[in-house]
Amino acid sequence: MKPLLELNGIAIPLEGRNIDTDQIIPARFLKKKRGEYADYLFYDLRFDNAHQPRRDFILNQPVFEHASILVCDENFGCGSSREAAVYAMVDFGIQAILAPSFGDIFYNNCLKNGVLPIVLPADTLQSLRHGLLHSSQTHAQKLDSSADLHIAIDLKNRQISSTHFKEVLQFEIDAFWQECLIKGVDEIALTLGYSDQIRAFEDQHKKQQPWLAP
Give residue limits of the domains in the chain.
Answer: 6-183, 186-214
Q: What's residue 210's pLDDT?
A: 82
Q: What's residue 207's pLDDT?
A: 80
Q: What's residue 135's pLDDT?
A: 87
Quote the pTM value: 0.87
Which ranges of the chain have pLDDT less than 50? 143
Q: What's residue 141's pLDDT?
A: 58
Q: What's residue 108's pLDDT?
A: 96
- C-alpha distance across the termini of the chain, in Å: 37
Q: What's residue 192's pLDDT?
A: 74
Domain 6-183 is found in CATH 3.20.19.10: yes
Alpha-carbon radius of gyration of the chain: 20
Q: What's residue 137's pLDDT?
A: 82
**114 CB-side CA count, 13 A:** 20
SS3 102: strand
Residue of 1, 118, 138, 7 lying closest to 71 (CA atoms):
118
In the chain, the amino acid numbered 86 is V
Q: Provide the pairing of β-strand 69-71 with 6-13.
A: parallel
